[in-house]
Amino acid sequence: MQYNVTLKDDAPPEELAKAKETAKSQGGEITHEFSLIKGFTVNYPDDKMSTLESNEHIHVEQDGEVKTQ
């Protein structure tokens, strides 16, 4: 499954690097890194999501198509 991971506003920048390392060490593959916001998209095993979501400094949401109408 693909997820977008972004750094929360009040989080220190090094937390994003920690999140990337966690994602990779748990079998994730980073497919895109954002430049305007501090974050990345990762293909990540569903059974490992609790590990990534347990980081209080990041926001994780499933990637999906967005429609306006």
Euclidean distance between CA atoms 16 and 19, whole angstroms: 5
- Tokens 């954002």 found at: 34
- pLDDT value of position 48: 87
pLDDT for 7-65, tens place per residue? Answer: 999 999 999 999 999 999 999 999 999 989 999 999 999 888 888 889 999 999 998 88
User: Buried b vs exposed e over 15-28: b needs ≥16 C-beta within 10 Å?
Assistant: bbeebbebbeeeeb
- In this predicted structure, the answer to whether residue 69 has a pLDDT above a threshold of 90 is no
Q: What pTM was estimated for this model as a whole?
A: 0.86
Which pLDDT belongs to residue 51?
87
**Residue 2: its H or E element:** strand 2-7
